[in-house]
Amino acid sequence: MTDIVRNTISSAGPDGVVLFTKSYCRYSKRAKEELRNAGIVPVIMELDQRQDGQEIQTALMEMTGQKTVPSAWVRGQHIGGSDDVHNGIETGLFDGLPK
């Protein structure tokens, strides 16, 4: 499953943003909304809408130590969850990324 995670991150490109989320999760919704409001269009993988979603979430946990969604990645690096997306927007982490 780590190959799926790596391939998804790679598909976003060197300046890409990737969110691994669940469609019903309020924290995932918050991260997606804040990125959208900032003009950032992330690659989104909705884990609850995939047969292998639980396995992907387990792979993400093994890779990052984070058990929850959203799992946010910027420029190929894991930054954390919803609060980290919010803080990244506030501190300019997403500045200069394609919109």
Could you read off the pLDDT of 58-95 as tens digits, one per residue? 999 999 999 999 999 999 999 999 999 999 999 999 99
Which residues fall within 8 angstroms of residue 83, CB to CB, at 6 or more apart?
Answer: none
Task: Indicate the pTM of the whole model.
Answer: 0.95
The pLDDT-based confidence of 98 (bands split at 50, 70, 90) is confident
Query: Angle at Cα 14 formed by Cα 13 and Cα 20, nearest 5°?
Result: 60
Reduced to 3 states, what is the DSSP secondary structure of residue 77? strand
Q: What size, in residues, is the chain?
A: 99
Burial class (CB in 10 A: 0-12, 13-18, 19+), 34: middle
Could you read off the pLDDT of 14-55 as tens digits, one per residue? 989 999 999 999 999 999 999 999 999 999 999 999 999 999
